[in-house]
Structure 1
Amino acid sequence: MNWVPWNKHQSHIVNLHRAKCLKCDENSYWFGDAYGENEGKMLFPLVSNAPPPHPDMPKEVKSDYLEARDVLPHSSKAAAALVRLALQRLCIHLGKSSNINTAIGQLVKDGLPQGVQRALDAIRIIGNESVHPGEIQDEDIDKSVGAMFELLNYIVQDRITRFKEIDALYESLPEGKRQGVEQRDKK
């Protein structure tokens, strides 16, 4: 990185620096007290370690998910709360209650696998604890928020993509064979 004080022509002192990457030649902007790769805080571009949303994630869920990714570099508690909100919107999208705990119970009654149920409850509990202090400490939220993003993608895979793929395969069967299955199931 080539470091350049960004405020050199201003009359007041602000610890802003521009760094030009020697590999990609792009600029980043930093606030900090000293030069050095590990000093200060990068202001732009923001880098989130969270995975991108699952391609089949519904639009209203994806909006909260992307916002959670954006705030993650600044606040793991805010990101955890937004992932929990995204999960609640996913439950509503799946036709379940707007009360997230009730919705998870409804999904369990529908035959939700235990691993997926645990993923749902982990997101719900960690997200709740991020805004309502309780037994989970801030440091624990910091450690688990990354997994929350992965779990939400896993839930989308299980509840949406899996059925979409099965339906696509079934629809690719010859019409006569599908009619035979439908006749069999009417009996």
Structure 2
Amino acid sequence: MSQPDGKPAQGKKSFYCPHCGVLAQQSDSRLVKEGTGTVLTSRSRRDPRSIAQWSFSRCGVCENIAVWHDNQMIYPTASTLPGPHEDMPPEALQLYSEAAAVFPHSRRAAAALARGALERLLRHAGVEGRDLSELIVNTESEVPWALFQLLTSLRVLGNSTLHDEQGAPELVAVYLDEDDAEIAETIITVVNEACEALIAVPKRAERIYNAIPKAKRDYVEGQVDGVRKLAAAAAEHAEPEASAS
């Protein structure tokens, strides 16, 4: 499933602000020659007085600016992480957006924020558990094993980077390695993967399944119920035999 195109880019009318992490409207200004000096203007980038493609975007929410040159964000350092999944619930979206915004500046803070986003996401998806560890364990039958491993890695990392690096020193070292950003990005964006598996796919599946005529659905569901009853009866019959042996 494609993600909303909120990646920051020079001249875009809206993107995820690198300061506050919110998908916000951006006002664009450019440096142009004015007499013997330079001024900011909201004129088009095609203005012949524009100075070497320098521009400034101002966030409509936090009002902080980003500085651009030749389609590259110079300040602040742009996040390489994708925006939140389009089906991510608001309570998780806020923390994930903040994690993506802070990622270039503090991977430790990004891990802690992403961990919080994951916990909120799992609770919204109806997963039960007293804490994040139990929540993740209870997803094991619903997600691929590789995704389960990454969810666990994010949980451990979120704890270790801020509280107890001795708990998972190798994981922390790999995550903080500046020469291997792909590993760090994979761990943080697992929140999007969880949203896809636990919220987006079931929602799409239900919509598609409900397009099947009701009589056909009832027939299939009746078959499923019959198989379940047979399995339950077999299990009940096996218990006395196991006790006797």
What is the deviation of 1:172?
0.9
Superposed displacement of residue 165, structure 1: 1.6
Q: Judging by fraction of residues, say which structure has more helix.
A: 1
Shift of 1:98: 4.1
Residue 119 of structure 1 contacts residue 155 of structure 1 at CA under 8 Å; is this kept in 2? no
State the match for 1:22 in structure 2.
52
- Matched residues in 2 for 1:58 and 1:70: separation? 18
Three-state SS of the structure 2 residue aligned to 1:137 is helix
8 Å CA contact 1:92–1:98 kept in 2: the answer is: no
Other-structure match for 1:106: 138
**Identity across the alignment (%):** 27
Q: Which has the larger radius of gyration?
A: 2
Does residue 119 in structure 1 map to residue 150 in structure 2?
yes
Question: Which segment drifts farther, 78-87 or 90-99?
Answer: 90-99
Structure with more of its chain in strand, by fraction: 2
Tell me: CA distance 1:89–1:139, structure 2 relative to 1, closer, same or farther (3 Å). closer
List per-residue Cα deviations over 1:59-116 (Å, max 9, x = no partner).
11111101111212321111111001111112222332141111111222x4442112
Q: 1:50 aligns with which of 81, 102, 108?
A: 81
Aligned residues: 162
Letter in 2 for 1:27: F
| Distance change (3 Å), C-alpha of 1:98 and 1:47 | farther
Alignment partner, residue 148 of structure 1: 187
Question: What amino acid does structure 1 have at the position aligned with 2:200?
Answer: T
Q: Name stretches of at least 5 consecutive residues in structure 1 with no aligned partner.
A: 9-19
How big is the shift at 1:150? 2.5
Report the Cα distance in structure 1 between the residues aligned to 2:93 and 2:191, rounded to whole angstroms. Answer: 10
- Using a 3 Å threshold, how does the CA distance of structure 1 residues 105 and 166 change in structure 2: closer, same or farther? same
Q: 1:96 to 1:130 in 2, by over 3 A?
A: same
Match of 1:96 in 2: 128
* 2:143–2:197 Cα contact (<8 Å) kept: no
Q: Amino acid of the residue matched to residue 164 of structure 1? A: K
How many Å separate the matches in 1 of 2:89 and 2:198?
11
- Displacement of 1:182 in angstroms is 3.9
Once the two structures are TM-superposed, the CA of residue 147 in structure 1 deviates from its matched residue by 1.5
Q: Which runs of 5+ in 2 are unaligned?
A: 1-29, 38-49, 58-64, 227-245
TM-superposed deviation, 1:168? 1.0
Do the aligned residues in 2 keep the contact of 1:77 with 1:141 (CA within 8 Å)?
no
Distance 2:118 2:186 in 1: 14
Match of 2:114 in 1: 83
Matched, 1:59 2:65: no
Q: Give the deviation of 1:55 after TM superposition.
A: 1.0
Matched, 1:172 2:172: no
TM-score (norm. length: structure 1):
0.71
RMSD: 3.3
Query: Which residue of the partner structure matches residue 17 of structure 1?
Result: none
Q: 1:184, CA displacement in angstroms?
A: 4.0
* Alpha-carbon distance in structure 2 between the residues aligned to 1:57 and 1:174: 30
With over 3 angstroms needed to count, the CA separation of the structure-2 counterparts of 1:118 and 1:186, relative to structure 1, is: closer
Equivalent residue, structure 1, for 2:173: 137
- Contact 1:81–1:128 under 8 Å retained in 2: yes
Structure 1 residues 107-156: Cα deviation after superposition (integer angstroms, max 9, x where no partner) = 22x44421121111111122112212221238636544322232221111
Tell whether the 8 Å contact from 1:91 to 1:98 is kept in structure 2 after alignment: no
